[in-house]
Amino acid sequence: MATTSPRRRARTSSSRASARLFAFDRALGASRVAGADEAGRGCLAGPLVVASVCIHLGRLPRSHRLLLTDLDDSKRLAPEVRQRLAAAIARVADQVVVLSASSATIDRDGLHVTNLRLLRRSLELLDPVPDVCLVDGFSLGAAAVEHRAVVGGDRRSACIAAASVVAKATRDRLMTGPAAATHPGYGFERHVGYATTAHRAAIRAAGPSCLHRRSFASPAFDGFG
Q: Tell which phi-psi region holds residue 29, choosing left (phi > 0), alpha (psi between -120 and 50) or beta.
A: left
Residue 165 to residue 205: CA distance in whole angstroms = 33
**What residues form DSSP beta bridges with 34?**
54, 133
pLDDT band for 46, please (50, 70, 90 cuts): very high
| Cα-based distances in Å from 183 to 31, 87, 94, 171, 186 | 45, 27, 36, 16, 7
14-39 average pLDDT score? 95
pLDDT band for 127, please (50, 70, 90 cuts): very high
pLDDT greater than 60 at residue 129: yes
Fold of 13-220: Nucleotidyltransferase; domain 5 (3.30.420)
pLDDT tens-digit readout, 162-206: 999 999 999 999 999 999 999 999 999 999 999 999 999 999 999
What's the whole-model pTM score? 0.91
Which residue type is seen at 76? R
Q: Are 111 and 100 in contact (CB under 8 A)?
A: no
